[in-house]
């Protein structure tokens, strides 16, 4: 993608996702993800209705009239986007690729964090950490993240969620809001998920294409693994083959949901044909 086309695409995503974050998600994000506690801000004169427990007795005695302590939320948080860029994310049959939807969701979350003056960082992963952008604030930083989401070409096409979460634990020492965006076509990441979920406010966003959920009856067709390049010829004439495929897919989805729930992490599943706006809003509202 040339520079002009890239900038045009970045701008298009910024306009769409920033509008959503400003008018829809900003408040929900703030309500859902709380600060680290309350810090002292100032003292002011007592007003009718103030909690008497907040009276500052030292200042009250000094001025011979009641003053109260004012506290405000210690707001600054860190949002970390952990994004799967393996080969299977470059799949899509109708409206868009899975990677396109992941980019939009990530951008919306990033601008919501920006609106609340939080830091945002990015980890792109395959079966290795492909790129790490440390958390920072600012619009130019968010635009850099969007550019990387749009044009980054990974060295590997394989997936290791465990590797990404292990790296996350190493680079983030304090609690953060973490969204892992992937199709979660991977196994053996329960241990690192458990560790990350204990330390961070973790949510998995599973993005999928409806075509992946079942095999249509198309006769004998080649199925190519996007991550290994291996091609297998499958007879979709067979009802047994089709049912077995659907069964394995459902088991994979249930395993994803149970794994996150068991470890106290949130989870969302969103098709490339669905509105991620409704999915995210429903998730935020359910958490408040």
Per-residue model confidence as pLDDT tens digits over 107-166: 999 988 888 888 999 999 999 999 999 999 999 999 999 999 988 999 999 999 999 999
> Is the model's pTM score more than 0.85?
no
46 CB-contact burial (10 Å; exposed 0-12 / middle 13-18 / buried 19+): middle
| Axis-axis angle for helices 3-20, 98-115 (nearest 10) | 60
Residue with tokens 């196994």: 187
Predicted pLDDT of residue 95: 66
User: Residue 176 in contact with residue 201, Cβ under 8 Å?
Assistant: yes
pLDDT digits (tens, 9 = 90+) for 223-279: 767 667 777 887 777 888 888 888 988 998 999 999 999 999 999 999 988 888 888
In the predicted model, is pLDDT for residue 35 greater than 60?
no
Question: 65 — phi, psi (to 5°)?
Answer: -155, 155
Q: Mean pLDDT of all residues in the chain?
A: 84
What would the mean pLDDT of 169-184 be, rounded to a whole number? 93
Q: What is the CATH number of domain 3-31+75-287?
A: 3.40.50.410
- Count Cβ atoms below 10 Å from residue 34 Cβ, excluding itself: 13
Q: Where in the chain is the domain with CATH 3.40.50.410?
A: 3-31+75-287
In the predicted model, is pLDDT for residue 43 greater than 90?
no
pLDDT range class, residue 81, cuts 50, 70, 90: very high
Selected residue with higher pLDDT from 24 and 46: 46
Q: Helix-strand-coil percent breakdown of the chain, rounded to 5? A: 45, 25, 30
């Amino acid at each position: 993608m040339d520079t002009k086309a890239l900038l045009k695409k970045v701008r298009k995503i910024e306009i769409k996702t920033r509008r959503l974050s400003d008018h829809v998600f900003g408040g929900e994000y703030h309500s859902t993800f709380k600060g680290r506690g309350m810090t002292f801000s100032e003292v002011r004169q007592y007003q009718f209705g103030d909690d008497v427990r907040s009276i500052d007795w030292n200042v009250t005695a000094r001025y011979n009239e009641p003053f109260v302590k004012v506290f405000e939320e210690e707001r600054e948080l860190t949002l970390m986007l952990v994004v799967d860029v393996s080969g299977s994310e470059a799949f899509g049959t109708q409206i868009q690729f899975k990677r396109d939807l992941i980019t939009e969701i990530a951008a919306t979350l990033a601008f919501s964090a920006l609106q609340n003056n939080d830091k945002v960082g990015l980890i792109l992963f395959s079966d290795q950490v492909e790129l790490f952008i440390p958390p920072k604030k600012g619009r130019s930083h968010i635009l850099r993240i969007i550019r990387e989401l749009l044009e980054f070409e990974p060295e590997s096409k394989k997936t290791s969620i465990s590797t990404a979460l292990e790296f996350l634990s190493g680079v983030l020492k304090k609690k953060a809001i973490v969204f892992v965006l992937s199709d979660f076509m991977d196994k053996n990441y329960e241990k690192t998920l458990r560790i990350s979920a204990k330390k961070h406010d973790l949510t998995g966003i599973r993005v999928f294409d409806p075509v992946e959920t079942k095999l249509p009856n198309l006769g004998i067709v080649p199925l190519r693994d996007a991550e290994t390049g291996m091609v297998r010829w499958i007879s979709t004439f067979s009802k047994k083959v089709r049912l077995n495929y659907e069964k394995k897919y459902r088991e994979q989805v249930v395993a994803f949901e149970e794994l996150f729930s068991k470890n106290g992490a949130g989870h969302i599943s969103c098709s490339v044909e669905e509105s991620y706006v409704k999915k995210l809003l429903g998730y935020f509202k359910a958490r408040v």
